[in-house]
């Protein structure tokens, strides 16, 4: 990123504020892509903190190549306990264009927040499963579908590697998924089939890519964003290493506007759902409950008498497997919620859970200004 370009494009006054999106978070630093000038409001005044749509509508477009700044968070935000997350819409004060740095002064209200991975203002989840290599596993697909349904976000289901299966096989999967209640979109990064359609659906939105590893998510990112690989390849040192840790997440700007977030380490999501919330995550169950009612209003559709959900439909067994997990999750949640719970649940390498005493929280020690500056300089050297 040539920060000098940004200075030429914007020629801002020293008192200007800018709006931007947080693309990635690294320790106490935030990469922010600025998009629109906030100083179109009367000089010296702040834009009103409304919704991002209101602000976007009231601000003119900026440059075609939005500047990227490495930002810190203003002390007042820290005092307020205001966290800054990937996907946040933020106000950046007095950017240092030459150094390519800035300070986040305010975080706009979030429309939503995805906990895992932590991303604010998500518009939709693109769930990718391969038609082949690896074979499409209906149990695993159901697990992802349920978790996304539970988040309440818009879901788009993509079946990748369409070049590896016959038209008949593809049709069979589409028909089967329609029975579940989903429309699937087939594509291939090898032949380019279905790519333009997906790109159109991503334009202008913040989309999260989910799915098991090996289904072609990286290939898809590289097809949709030809510069993504170059950019990642160019980053060395701390940021690059950070990219491969499981919790790291970043927004990649799409060429036509909007962002795509990859979700590494999201292979087999643990079910975070209470038993009484699970039925609503299956379109087949929602449909059954629209046309009929179980005898018990709190029916979990398991062994209860006169249940309209239990029956001979394809994913009922998947439902029961996940119901058992949701019951276990609830039991664990209740155990942890007791006020004197001094034990913390840990899962060992064997997958066996055990409990350990909770550690006292670490005392927060403020790093010296010099240490902060050194850390920033090191980060910068790594990026050069
Ligand atoms: P990820 O783990 O989901 O990011 O998957 P990758 O993008 O790394 O792809 C896994 C493998 O599938 C690689 O060998 C890719 O070359 C291959 N692959 C990706 N997309 C396609 C596709 O559309 N067709 C075929 N035949 N192979 C693909
Ligand atoms: Zn029932």
- 311 by Cβ neighbours in 10 Å (0-12 / 13-18 / 19+) ranks as exposed
DSSP 49-87: ---HHHHHHHS----SS--EEEEEE-HHHHHHT----TT
pLDDT at 225 over 60: yes
User: Which one is predicted more confidently, 100 or 372?
Assistant: 100
Cα distance between residue 31 and residue 22, in whole Å: 6
pLDDT at 363 over 50: no
pLDDT at 317 over 60: yes
User: Which one is predicted more confidently, 341 or 311?
Assistant: 311
- Measured from the alpha carbon of residue 308, the closest ligand is 2
Mean pLDDT of the chain: 78
Closest residue by Cα to atom 21, ligand 1, is 161
pLDDT at 341 over 90: no
Q: How confident is the model at residue 285 (pLDDT cuts 50, 70, 90)?
A: very high
Which DSSP symbol is given to 40? T
Tell me the mean pLDDT in the region 282-303.
97
Sign of CA dihedral 48, 51, 57, 61: positive
Give distance in angstroms: CA of 379 to centre of ligand 2: 56
Give distance in angstroms: CA of 6 to centre of ligand 2: 60
What pLDDT score was predicted for residue 95?
86
Query: Which among 117, 131, 214 has a CA at the least distance from the CA of 170?
Result: 131
Give distance in angstroms: CA of 133 to centre of ligand 1: 8
What pLDDT score was predicted for residue 280?
97
Q: How confident is the model at residue 383 (pLDDT cuts 50, 70, 90)?
A: very low
- Measured from the alpha carbon of residue 216, the closest ligand is 1
What pLDDT score was predicted for residue 114?
86
Give distance in angstroms: CA of 300 to centre of ligand 2: 6
H helix and E strand count, the chain = 13, 15
Interstrand relation of 353-357 and 343-347 (parallel, antiparallel or unpaired): antiparallel
Cα distance between residue 272 and residue 333, in whole Å: 10
What pLDDT score was predicted for residue 17?
80
User: Which one is predicted more confidently, 383 or 166?
Assistant: 166
Closest residue by Cα to atom 26, ligand 1, is 161
Q: How many residues does the chain have?
A: 384
Q: What number does the ligand 1 atom closest to the CA of 189 have?
A: 23
Give distance in angstroms: CA of 25 to centre of ligand 1: 27
- Measured from the alpha carbon of residue 218, the closest ligand is 1
pLDDT at 2 over 50: no
Lowest mean pLDDT: which of 33-37, 139-143, 270-274, 315-319? 33-37
What pLDDT score was predicted for residue 352?
53
- Asked if 16 and 38 touch (Cβ cutoff 8 Å), the reply is yes
Alpha-carbon dihedral 8, 13, 17, 19, rounded to 10 degrees: -20
Per-residue pLDDT tens digits for 131-141? 999 999 999 99
Q: How confident is the model at residue 281 (pLDDT cuts 50, 70, 90)?
A: very high
Per-residue pLDDT tens digits for 233-255? 333 344 444 344 445 788 999 98
Cα distance between residue 241 and residue 239, in whole Å: 5
Q: Please list every protein residue whose CB sits less than 6 Å from any atom of ligand 1.
A: 160-161, 163-164, 188-190, 213-219
pLDDT at 350 over 90: no
Which DSSP symbol is given to 191? T
């Amino acid at each position: 990123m040539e920060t000098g370009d940004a200075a030429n494009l914007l020629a801002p006054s020293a008192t200007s504020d800018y709006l931007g999106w947080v693309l990635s978070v690294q320790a106490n630093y935030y990469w922010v892509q600025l998009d629109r000038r906030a100083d179109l409001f009367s000089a010296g005044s702040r834009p009103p903190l409304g919704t991002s749509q209101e602000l976007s509508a009231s601000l003119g477009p900026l440059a075609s190549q939005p500047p990227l700044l490495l930002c810190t968070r203003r002390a007042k935000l820290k005092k307020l306990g205001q966290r800054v997350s990937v996907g946040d819409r933020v106000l950046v004060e007095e950017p240092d264009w030459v150094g390519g740095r800035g300070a986040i002064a305010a975080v706009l209200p979030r429309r939503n927040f995805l906990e895992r991975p932590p991303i604010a203002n998500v518009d939709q989840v693109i769930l990718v499963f391969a038609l082949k290599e690896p074979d499409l596993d209906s149990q695993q697909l159901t697990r992802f579908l349920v978790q996304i349904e539970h988040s309440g976000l818009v879901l788009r289901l993509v079946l990748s590697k369409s070049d590896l299966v016959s038209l008949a096989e593809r049709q069979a999967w589409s028909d089967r998924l329609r029975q579940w209640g989903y429309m699937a979109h087939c594509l291939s990064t090898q032949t380019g089939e279905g790519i333009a359609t997906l790109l159109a659906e991503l334009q202008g939105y913040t989309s999260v890519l989910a799915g098991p590893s090996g289904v072609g998510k990286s290939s898809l990112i590289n097809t949709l964003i030809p510069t993504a690989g170059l950019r990642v390849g160019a980053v060395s040192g701390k940021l690059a290493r950070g990219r491969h840790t499981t919790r790291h997440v970043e927004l990649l700007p799409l060429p036509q506007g909007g962002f795509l977030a990859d979700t590494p380490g999201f292979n087999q999501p643990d079910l975070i759902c209470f038993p009484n919330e699970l039925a609503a995550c299956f379109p087949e169950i929602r449909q059954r409950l629209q046309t009929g009612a179980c005898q018990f209003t709190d029916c979990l559709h398991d062994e209860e008498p006169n249940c309209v959900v239990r029956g001979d439909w394809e994913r009922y067994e998947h439902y029961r497997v996940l119901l058992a997990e949701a019951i276990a999750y609830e039991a664990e949640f209740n155990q942890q919620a007791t006020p004197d719970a001094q034990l913390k649940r840990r899962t060992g390498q064997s997958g066996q859970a055990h409990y350990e005493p909770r550690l006292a929280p670490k005392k927060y020690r403020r790093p010296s200004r010099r240490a902060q500056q050194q850390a920033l300089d090191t980060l910068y050297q790594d990026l050069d």
